[in-house]
Amino acid sequence: MWLPHNTLFVRPGTPQAVGESVRAEAPDKLDRRRRAYVPRNDPPVFAASRLLEAGLKEALAIEAPAQEGSYEFLCTRPGHWAIMQGRLIVTKDVDAYLKANPEVK
Ligand SMILES: [Cu+2]
């Protein structure tokens, strides 16, 4: 059985706090953009998708944070944040970043 998932982009070091903050919410508790499991008035979150069933798509236009760094993204469906997460690198010089961090592909 496929479960719907979402994607939230957050400040570094906040995935656990964000994931845990919505863990007890109901999937039908939606915000004004019809998104579930998105913390309300929570500054660590700077972009978030809706819960999407398998095969569905949603485009997110993200305004990158002004400060360069390694940001994080996660799924906040209860129990998912711990294994469904990754990093978003914000840099003004991709080539220099990749040269300094060859492990990143
Ligand atoms: Cu998920």
What separation in Å is there between the alpha carbon of 22 and the centre of ligand 1?
13
Question: Per residue in 45-83, pLDDT tens?
Answer: 999 999 999 999 999 999 889 999 999 999 999 999 999
Residue type, 18: V
Confirm whether 70 is domain-assigned. no
Residues 5-48: tens digit of each pLDDT: 999 999 999 999 999 999 999 999 999 999 999 998 767 899 99
Q: Is residue 19 part of a domain?
A: yes
CA 100 – ligand 1 centroid, Å: 31
Q: Is residue 97 domain-resident?
A: no
**35-63 per-residue burial string, b: 16 or more CB within 10 A, e: under 16:** bbbbbeebebbbbbbbbeeeeeeeeeeee
Task: Determine the structural domain holding residue 4 and report its residue range.
Answer: 1-60
Is 53 part of a structural domain of the chain? Answer: yes
Look at residue 77 and tell me if it is in a domain. Answer: no
Residue 93 pLDDT greater than 70, yes or no: yes
Q: What is the pLDDT of residue 59?
A: 95
* pLDDT for res 42: 65
Spatial neighbors of 103 by CB under 8 A, at least 6 apart, are none
